[in-house]
A and B are shown apart, each in its own frame.
Chain A
């Protein structure tokens, strides 16, 4: 079946621009997570949704980062006024409600 999909796969932004990254979870999955993966490192948690409710946003690095999942399916991670340190791969994962998380291919963001 279809896995987690993310778009765009690659995004280049000029410093100061706003970007929006999309995640389509596996159909029916209740839980959705966003992680940030810097080059050569493991993924780091950003935020978690259960259906449309954002239950944990403790990992968001600044108030420039905002995530939403208005209908409990597709999610968007928005980064305002991008900075060079925002350059990373942004991974989305979904879960049917237990502990197992299935990851998408990620969006590689490069801020110039």
Chain B
């Protein structure tokens, strides 16, 4: 089955700096890669996703890159703000109905004002 590794497990940055979180996956059949933000006591919230027909996707301060050959993908947050502080999870799955997601272990991002 799929295995997703995520690094780093914790990340502390100064407000305004950029943050990068990296993930690797093992199953070459995976072609859907969402990123979720989870705040304390809440469920995961989808912030961006990418499918393997594209290499990069941006949404305001958030971007995701995908290298299918190397089986890794990354989340980039620019101009970080204190409200970006949360746990971020990457996941991998297949882009068809009903396919489960396999999650990484999470990255706790702390943005210091």
Contacts and interface: CB of A to CB of B under 8 A. Distances in A.
Interface of A: 4, 30-31, 33, 40-45, 48, 50, 55-56, 59, 91, 95, 97-106
Contacts of A98: 95-97
Interface residues of B, number: 29
Given A99-B94, A99-B95, A103-B36, A45 B100 contact: yes
Contacts, number: 68
A104 B43 contact: yes
Contact of B46 (A30, A40, A42, A101): A101
Nearest to B45: A103
B46 A100 contact: yes
Interface of B: 4, 6, 32, 34, 36, 41-46, 49, 51, 89, 91, 93-106
13 contacts: A42-B6, A42-B91, A42-B106, A43-B101, A56-B98, A98-B97, A99-B32, A99-B97, A99-B99, A100-B46, A100-B49, A104-B43, A105-B42
B97 to A, nearest CB: 5
B100 to A, nearest CB: 4
Contact of A91 (B44, B95, B97): B44
Given A42-B105, A99-B51, 10 more contacts: A42-B4, A42-B89, A45-B101, A48-B100, A50-B98, A91-B44, A98-B97, A99-B93, A99-B97, A101-B101
